[in-house]
Structure 1
Amino acid sequence: MHSTRAALPAISALTEQQQRGWACVWCGAALHTGTARDLGEQRHIPMKGCPYSWFPRACPDPAACAEREAAQ
């Protein structure tokens, strides 16, 4: 189950939709306001440029999410 994972995927491995919280960070499924699981504010410090915050979200059903991720 994804809720027990210690670390999120690297931001560089995520699509813009996943980085912006529009899609699940684990399986990439589209998310809807009010149903997605908020994974909290994350801080990214790039090698060049300014640090910034990003706000990852995940599917509301971890089991279905894991199935979609495994199918990829």
Structure 2
Amino acid sequence: MTTRALPPVKDLTEAQQRGWVCVWCRAALGIGLGVGLGEQRVRPADGAAYSWFPRQCSDAAACQAREAS
């Protein structure tokens, strides 16, 4: 599990919010790949509350390298 604070959901793509790609580096995460970061709830000021499901890469070092580039 990550110890980093998750980025604001408003700054993420739909794919990042749904866990289809890494929340940090945007690498594609197929079925059974990546690490789930748990269900997250958000209550926007101008809309209904909803859940989002971020995931991150299993290989933290490779993820950080992709995120830096």
Question: Shared topology, TM-score over 0.5?
Answer: yes
C-alpha distance in structure 2 between counterparts of 1:53 and 1:3, whole Å? 18
1:33 CA displacement: 1.1
1:60 CA displacement: 1.1
**What SS does the aligned partner of 2:38 have?**
coil
Structure 1: runs of 5+ lacking an equivalent: none
Structure 2: runs of 5+ lacking an equivalent: none
Render the CA deviation track for 1:12-59: whole Å, top value 9, x for unaligned: 111111011101000011101111100001000001111011110011
Q: Is residue 3 of structure 2 the alignment partner of residue 4 of structure 1?
A: yes
C-alpha distance in structure 1 between counterparts of 2:49 and 2:2, whole Å? 26
Determine the structure 2 residue equivalent to 1:57. 55
C-alpha distance in structure 1 between counterparts of 2:34 and 2:2, whole Å? 13
**What is the RMSD computed on CA atoms of the aligned residues?**
1.2
C-alpha distance in structure 2 between counterparts of 1:8 and 1:63, whole Å? 18
